[in-house]
Amino acid sequence: MRGSLLPAVLTLALLASPALAATIEVTIDKLVYSPASVEAKVGDTIEWTNKDVIAHTATVKGGWDVMIPPKSKGKVTLKQPGAVDYFCRFHPNMKGHVEVSP
């Protein structure tokens, strides 16, 4: 009888464990975010890799502002669901979008 409970307990443990957060990679090259639009979940991290020789930002009005130095990386962990548009403060024509699900 006791051995028959083990599969049920294991199944419940797997269902109850939180999903692992993902890291979504975005490349900046020649003044362009690539991909320009990504999908993520609350708790995921977006990491930008700047391949340009000039600094950029990933800025959300009223929200986060990530500085990404030349030939370096910057990241942010997403805290709330919703659609987020971001841009580079230094190059406002650079635009990106994130769809964040719960």
Question: Domain locations in the chain?
Answer: 20-101
**pLDDT value at residue 20:** 87
Listed in sequence order, the residues at least 6 apart from 75 whose beta carbon sits closer than 8 Å to its beta carbon are: 23, 45, 46, 47, 48, 66
78, 99 in Cβ contact below 8 A? no
User: What is the homologous superfamily of the domain 20-101 according to CATH?
Assistant: Cupredoxins -  blue copper proteins (2.60.40.420)
**pLDDT value at residue 6:** 46
Whether the full predicted model's pTM is greater than 0.85, yes or no, is no
Average pLDDT estimate for 54-58: 98
